[in-house]
Amino acid sequence: MKSRILENLRKNEGPVSGQALSEQLGISRVSIWKHIQQLQAFGYDIISSAKGYRLKSSPDVPYPWEFTGRESKIIYHEQLSSTMEVAKQLARKGCADFTTVIAGRQTSGRGRLNRQWFSDEGGLYFTMVLRPDLPPVFSFRVGFLASLTLARLLNQIFKIEVRVKWPNDLLVNERKICGMLSELEAEADRVAFINMGIGLNVNNDPSPIEPTATSLKMILGHNVSKKEILFRYLDLFETQMQSAAYDDVIEQWKQYTVTLNRHVRVVTTRDVFTGKAIDVDETGALVLKCSDGSLKTIHYGDCFHQSH
C-alpha cells in the first residue's frame, strides 16, 4: 500500500485529497492517514493540509516499498553485521530467487580473502540470493555478469568511465569504487544458491581507510541516489540473468577490463604471483605469464595492478 500511495503522490505536483486516495486505492481515509503518518516517520516529507497530502521529498533509503513489483523480496536494515550473513540464513531457508538484503551500514562487512569491507553510511551494501539454473562449474559467470552489468549501468547513468578488474572489482581512474563477494552452495550437479554481495561506494568517502579507493560522490562532487542505482541495477541484472546473456559474458567482460596486458600481483589464500595478465580463460581464471616465461592459471584471488 505504501508504494501505491507514494506512486499517487509522485504523479501529482499539487496536494491529493485523502478522499481521492481512499477511492483510488480502495481503503478507508483513516488507513490512508495511518500510512501517511508511518511514511512521515520513515523520513518522507509529506505536507498535510486542508487540500490533502503533498510529497515534498523522499529519503534516499532503499525501503521495500520503493521497489514496485519486488517489495516482498527486499529486506532493508539500517545496520547489520553483514548482509552476507542474513542472506545465507534466508537462502538456506529457501527464500525466493533475487531476494535482496540491504544494509545502511555494516559493522562486520566482509571482503574477499577474509578482509574487512569498510561499510560506513552513504555506501550501498547488498547481497542478492540468486538461484540460477546452472551446473556449479559455470557459476563463475554470474559474478562476471554482475560486475559487467553494474559497470555498464554506472557508465550510462553518470557518464563516467567505470572499468572492471579481475575478478569482479569496479574501478574508476584506477581507483576501486566497488567490490563483489560471492558465496555458493551446491547440490550434486546444480547450484542451490549463489549469494552475490556488492559494496558500492556512493556517497561515502572510503579514502581515509582505503587510500586507493574512491566513491561516486568523490568523482561527481555531489550526492547521488543509492535507491535509484539499486532499483535500476536489480531490474537490469535480473533481465540479463533470465536471458542467455551470460553465455559469452567472459568475451564481453574482456572489452571492459583494465586488467589484461598489465603487470599484476595476484594474492591467493596460499601464494603471491606476479607476471603479465595475458588472458581470462573460459572458466573465468586469470592467465599470467611469469617472468621465466611460464604460464600460471589462477582461479581465485586478489589482483593488484602494477605498471602498464
Q: Applying CB under 6 A, does 62 fall inside the site for ligand BTN?
A: no
Q: Number of residues interacting with ligand BTN: please give it, by CB under 6 A.
A: 20
Question: Could you give the string, one character per residue 125-144, with x where binding to ligand BTN holds by CB under 6 A and - elsewhere?
Answer: xxx-----------------
CB crowding 221-249: b at 16 or more within 10 Å, else e: eeebebbebbbebbeebbebbeeebbeeb
Contact positions with ligand BTN (CB under 6 A) in 188-247: 197-199
Task: Indicate the residue whose CB is closest to ligand BTN.
Answer: 179
User: Least distance (Å) from ligand BTN to the CB of residue 110?
Assistant: 4
Query: In 10 A of CB 274, how many CB atoms?
Result: 14
Nearer to ligand BTN, 16 or 87 (CB): 87
User: Least distance (Å) from ligand BTN to the CB of residue 189?
Assistant: 28
Give the one residue of 179, 206, 275, 301 binding ligand BTN; rule: CB under 6 A. 179
Cell numbers found for residue 196: 552475490
**Among 65-73, 81-89, 91-99, 238-246, which window interacts with ligand BTN (CB under 6 A)?**
81-89
Give the one residue of 65, 76, 82, 206 binding ligand BTN; rule: CB under 6 A. 82
Nearer to ligand BTN, 172 or 181 (CB): 181
User: Least distance (Å) from ligand BTN to the CB of residue 221?
Assistant: 24
User: Least distance (Å) from ligand BTN to the CB of residue 181?
Assistant: 4
User: Least distance (Å) from ligand BTN to the CB of residue 268?
Assistant: 13
Nearer to ligand BTN, 65 or 117 (CB): 117
Q: Applying CB under 6 A, does 83 fall inside the site for ligand BTN?
A: yes
User: Least distance (Å) from ligand BTN to the CB of residue 43?
Assistant: 23
Nearer to ligand BTN, 62 or 197 (CB): 197
- Is the Cα torsion angle 232, 235, 238, 243 positive or negative in sign? negative
> Could you give the angle at the alpha carbon of 229 between the alpha carbons of 225 and 230, nearest 5°?
115
User: Least distance (Å) from ligand BTN to the CB of residue 105?
Assistant: 10
Give the one residue of 142, 170, 172, 180 binding ligand BTN; rule: CB under 6 A. 180
In angstroms, the CA 177 to CA 198 distance is 11
Give the one residue of 88, 110, 165, 226 binding ligand BTN; rule: CB under 6 A. 110
Residues that bind ligand BTN (CB under 6 A): 82-84, 106, 109-112, 115, 117, 125-127, 169, 179-181, 197-199
